[in-house]
Amino acid sequence: MPPFPSGEISLAPCAPARSQPADEAIASAAVAPDITRQFIRAKQPCADGYRWYLRRQEGASNYQALLDDLVREGRLEDACWMLDQFGPTNDVLEIDHLEADALVFAGSVRCRGHADVEGVLRTGRSLSVLGGLRVGGALRVGEDLRVAGAVRCEGSARLHGDARVGWSLTVAQRLQCTGSLRVGGELDCGATAHIGGHCRVAQDLRVVGDLGCDGGIKVGGHLQTDAAVQAARGVWVTGDVDCKGHLQVGWGVRAGGHIHAGGAIRAGESLWAGETIAAGEAYGVYAGLVVPLPDWPHSAQVCAREQPARLLSGCWTDGQGNKP
């Protein structure tokens, strides 16, 4: 079967390593479909994967049982390929604690305690953990992610829904969340990060690569990236904003500390900083890019401890709102 991208995410179902027997799991009403030889052949699997299936000598196989067997025999790429081809189910796996080498489950997983997976963790639908979550490989969740404790992923993470993390979120590689993301502690990402909705982080937000957000960004600590920051709406940061690339925001930017960028600073509306505003050498500062000129005094203000160098767009005002 075609290989699943090993470095990139994700949530591929892995081994049937569960902390309690499968027959104790609570499943929902939808029954997983049976997989026949004709059904598999119609999906044009690779020759090696199809031979493995034929060696099982079964006329029909339960979908989840087949995923479990693939994971058990170390065929994680084939298990992920199968989940991609046949899609999620409405099955629900409920367990007290999860400790596994890998897990690929076509439905939803609900863990009442902590979850620790050495390799790949993939679910076809939602993942809920009432304790902490550690994933040694890639993490991919088909729908919403809910974790009451901290999340540590040593691979990449792709979340196809909203994500709520009670404590800190650490992702060693790329982070992709198609919905909104809320983190109760710090957010650390070792590569690029893209959020499809709003991004709210209670403490510091640190990203090694580019940070992209299709909504607004609100950070209770400092915002720091080693590349560019792009947000479709506004950015509100209690501390400092530091990005080594361009800072581009559709609405306004407000920071309790400074706003510094290695490239240009572009805001659709106002720029407010408790300290200084500084773009990179030979780059400019632009505010009010989506505001009509008559509205600049109200909606395209640039306010900081001192007027930024190379202010090319916007209406400068001092801390009391007075224009020169």
Per-residue confidence (pLDDT) for residue 62, from 0 to 100? 80
Q: How does residue 58 score in pLDDT terms, banded at 50, 70 and 90?
A: low
Residue 24: count of CB within 10 angstroms of its CB:
12
Mean pLDDT of 84-96: 92
Mean pLDDT of 28-55: 49
Q: Please list, residue by residue across 113-127, b when 16 or more beta carbons sit within 10 angstroms of its beta carbon and e when fewer do.
A: ebbbbbbbbbbbbbb
Q: Mean pLDDT lowest for which of 49-58, 136-145, 197-206?
A: 49-58
pLDDT digits (tens, 9 = 90+) for 157-191: 999 999 999 999 999 999 999 999 999 999 999 99
**pLDDT higher for 72 or 3?**
72
Mean pLDDT of all residues belonging to the chain:
85
Per-residue confidence (pLDDT) for residue 82, from 0 to 100? 83
Residue 275: count of CB within 10 angstroms of its CB:
15
Q: Look at residue 230 and tell me whether its pLDDT is greater than 70.
A: yes
HEC letters along the chain = CCCCCCCCCCCCCCCCCCCCCHHHCCCCCCCCCEEEHHHHHHCCCCHHHHHHHHHCCCCEEEHHHHHHHHHHCCCHHHHHHHHHHHCCCCCEEEECCEEECCEEECCEEEECCCEEECCCEEECCCEEECCCEEECCCEEECCCEEECCCEEECCCEEECCCEEECCCEEECCCEEECCCEEECCCEEECCCEEECCCEEECCCEEECCCEEECCCEEECCCEEECCCEEECCCEEECCCEEECCCEEECCCEEECCCEEECCCEEECCCEEECCCEECCCCCCEECCCCCCHHHHHHHCEEECCCCCCCEEECEEECCCCCCC
Q: Look at residue 138 and tell me whether its pLDDT is greater than 50.
A: yes
Identify which of 247, 243, 252 has the alpha carbon closest to the alpha carbon of residue 288. Answer: 252
Residue 153: count of CB within 10 angstroms of its CB:
25
**pLDDT higher for 9 or 87?**
87
pLDDT digits (tens, 9 = 90+) for 269-307: 999 999 999 999 999 999 999 999 999 999 999 999 999
* Residue whose token pair is 């009010």: 288
| Nearby residues of 245 by Cβ (< 8 Å), 6 or more positions away | 210, 225, 227, 228, 229, 261, 262, 263
Whether pTM exceeds 0.85: no
Q: Look at residue 30 and tell me whether its pLDDT is greater than 70.
A: no
